[in-house]
A and B are shown apart, each in its own frame.
Chain A
Amino acid sequence: MQSEMKIDMPAQHKKMSLKAIVRDAGIGIALLVLILIFSITTEHFLAPNNITNILTQITINLILAVGLTFVILIAGIDLSVGSVLAFACVVAGKVITIEGLDANTAIFLAVIASLLAGTLCGLLNGLISAYWGLPSFIITLGMLNIARGGALHISEAQTIYSFPEQFNDFGSASLFGIPVVFLVALLLVGIAGFVLHKTVFGRMIYGIGNNEEAVRLAGHPVFWYKVMAYTICGLMAGIAGIVYMARLNISSPIAGIGFELNAIAAVIIGGTSLMGGRGSVYGTLLGAFIIGVLANGLILLGLNDFMRQMITGVVIIVAVVLDHYREKMTTGS
């Protein structure tokens, strides 16, 4: 939490202690080390087109992880984001391929449909788990199946393709070598950071994660704040759905299988506590980079799929263990 308070209050920025710097920069240092290792050991890691590659590859995971940051900050979890991505993607695919619509209208409606589909799933997750006070792990596990089944049903298990050209172009467009979809993700990180650190809503998210009862007793509608967190997470999955579609030019009911785990990993590596109340979306950004850089670098090193999976697993565990010590160091206990 300390790190956020510092971002919150520029006036107090100057007095950041050395310990706090190590704590806040810890993930950044790890990322730099990774980049350094891959730049030395591989030939093409720093090549412009490889960098573009990495940015494109982390986009979807980053968007999902931004949404998950809200949910994990209130000590919840959302296992359904991968399936919700597919559901939103399929819904949008159906809308965009409606015959007789002109391209712009079709794209507009598809985007709206995708965001609505995602938001609805998130809203349901939030309402059900917050109303009955049930573990979000189970509720969102149910939603994982519902959304996946829904996606398969709507699409009759078929991949949908042949979208308007402008739409496909957007998915592969870039600005100064930076993919536009990545810029969209970056914008979302910025907005989420603003919401979490500068608004009353953000304050409440941290408060609920730390001590829900104290927030409730202070007269705040904890229920709605929790529902909002899940809804935002669903909305992000919806956005990820449309981005997925634009990037791959298909809309597939089996998109996003297992994506929730990578997104959770990005949030946790980024220093957000699974117990809630501590962490930041900027950490999540770095966490997504670490996962993306690692995946890319290991491919360049010529490691096979299995090796890569093992190493990624090790990194997740190491990150959490290191974070545990970093936290101990800063609280001084």
Chain B
Amino acid sequence: MLAASIETLATSKENNDSRILSVKNLCKNFGGVKALQGVNFDLVKGETHALVGENGAGKSTLTKILTGVYHYDDGDIILKDNIYKPNSPKSAKQSGIQVVHQEFNLLTYLSIAENICFESLPKTKLGTLDKKKMHQRARLAMDTVGLGDIEVTTKISELGIAHRQLVEIARALEFKSDILILDEPTATLTQREVEKLFTILEKIKHSGVTVVFISHHLNEVFNICDRVTIFRNGKTITTKEIKDTNPQDVVSLMVGKALEQVMAQQSNQKHFGSIALEVKNLVIPQSPNAEGINFCVRKGEIVGIAGLVGAGRTEILRTIFALQEKISGQVLIDGLPVEFKNPRDAVNARLAFVTEDRKDEGLILDMSIATNSSLASISQVSNAGLMDFEKENQLAADFAKKLGLRFGKLKDNVASLSGGNQQKVVLAKWLSTNPKLLMLDEPTRGVDVGAKAEIYSILRSLALDGMALIVVSSELPELMTLCDRILVLSNHQVTGELEQQSFSQEEILQLAYKNM
């Protein structure tokens, strides 16, 4: 470790090889989970290099290794002819690798200058803060990102999202770096801001900085990058010159043909009833200018909603459940228009919503399995406001049995359960209300494989009993296994609707990228 840092310190000398960084057969395990299992790629000095892949393919793990957050288990990283093994984010920075993270790391109530120079504030001879020097340095950094006209004493809180993103980049550049990693830099930007960012990136590139660009947006990748490396399941599949490939090829490489498609359902068993939910021209605050969203769900049907993060999948469910207001449009339950003012109205109309965030919204972790199971159906286990604990335990025990819950005692806190069993308690909570429509957002997140299959079969049997279900998921195999029909969203618009016989990962992904 020490030898490695000495070596990294010795890397400041210029070298003529055009290859600035190469990663060979890099592996990283978290316990039994193989996050990276053979990552190979290299960076040529001055290029813009894209890393693409589905969520969980290993891009962020690699970023964290390169920036010294994680150590790697096996393989080699060569930075400018020396072995690179950073033991902290600080040593990564000293070696010239900077990252701009997806989420902001700015101190909101401090000025731009203070943020930019935060990691090494200039001092006067007396040891006090040298404001003049700080402002000077900050102005220089802001010039590089094209924001020279903004006063560096402005507080971050007064800046818009796009400008904050640029300040982050300015901060990264202020610290002299050879490699700049941008993790989804355009996720929060509008089209015009993205264009501005790209002009600035072009300038940065010309000053000799190598840029690593991580993005879901393939059109951006094809717009500004020189080469692209594709990740799948913790491995790099290949690196291609942008001019030698096209987005369709990249998508196929990201998905992989080998993924098995388990079609558990027998289609002859299916029987769809009348329309349980219909959404007409729904416009949500996150995308007020989008065309309205239209879809329906029949009784006995499982409809999946696919799309990239930020495409508006979760927001549609939250709008239907009155957790956020809609701008316009109509929601019809059993053919009748409804106007829910709050989740209470939705629950009373026998809607149920398994949210993405189990810990913050789904469960009361420090309360018992029984309490959580009866949370939405407390009127069934009480009389005139008095709890009937026997009934409550009975209800919890019934659902525990029905859903195959593995637990100690019903009075145990749900915090003591595994992810899969916690999710079953969330299901118990909603199923005890006997819902007509069950909406699930990422129903198997943080759930192990065994419990996943159990949850699939529970959802399938609910559909067979005539319940209408909507499933939002980032895992395409999950949607393709579970759903009768998949709706694809791209940038808050429905870009396609696929029936089961025409499910294909390529097609779904292409529809998902359509409006990006």
Contacts and interface: CB of A to CB of B under 8 A. Distances in A.
Interface of A: 1-2, 5-6, 8-9, 11-12, 15, 198-203, 206-207, 210-211, 213-221, 277-278
Interface core residue of A12, A214, A216, A220 (most chain B CB under 10 Å): A214
B487 to A, nearest CB: 23
Interface in B340-359: 342-344, 346-348, 353, 355
Contact of B386 (A11, A199, A213): A199
A210 B361 contact: no
Contact of B366 (A9, A203, A210, A213): A210
B300 interface: no
Given A207-B371, A214-B360, 12 more contacts: A1-B366, A6-B411, A12-B411, A199-B385, A210-B367, A213-B361, A216-B342, A217-B355, A217-B362, A219-B344, A219-B376, A220-B378
A12 B392 CA distance: 13
B405 interface: no
Given A207-B375, A217-B323, A199 B387 contact: yes
Contact of A218 (B323, B375, B385): B375
B85 interface: no
B347 to A, nearest CB: 3
B118 interface: no
B232 interface: no
B243 interface: no
Nearest to A195: B385
Contact of B347 (A1, A11, A198, A218): A218
Contact of A200 (B323, B365, B387): B387
A261 B301 CA distance: 58
Contacts of A15: 409
Contacts of A1: 366-367, 413
B354 to A, nearest CB: 10
| B interface: dominant SS | mixed
A290 B134 CA distance: 56
Contacts of B147: none
Contacts of B363: 211, 214
B387 A198 contact: yes
Given A203-B378, A219-B348, A198 B386 contact: yes
Contacts of A203: 371, 378, 387
B60 interface: no
B295 interface: no
Given A2-B413, A203-B378, A214 B386 contact: no
B429 interface: yes
A9 B344 contact: no
B37 interface: no
Contacts of A215: 364, 375
Contacts of A221: 344
B109 interface: no
A9 B375 contact: no
A113 to B, nearest CB: 28
A277 B376 contact: no
B382 interface: yes
A6 B368 CA distance: 11
A199 B393 CA distance: 15
A211 B343 contact: no
B104 interface: no
A309 to B, nearest CB: 35
Contact of A201 (B367, B385, B389, B393): B385
A210 B389 contact: no
Interface in B381-420: 382, 385-387, 389-390, 393, 409, 411, 413
B360 to A, nearest CB: 6
B364 A210 contact: yes
Contact of A217 (B348, B353, B409): B353
B343 A219 contact: yes
Interface in B246-280: none
Contact of A277 (B344, B366, B368, B386): B366
B393 A219 contact: no
A215 B342 CA distance: 12
Contacts of A278: 366
A193 to B, nearest CB: 13
B380 to A, nearest CB: 11
A219 B322 CA distance: 11
A200 B386 contact: yes
Given A9-B411, A217-B323, A219-B344, A211 B364 contact: yes
Contacts of B390: 11
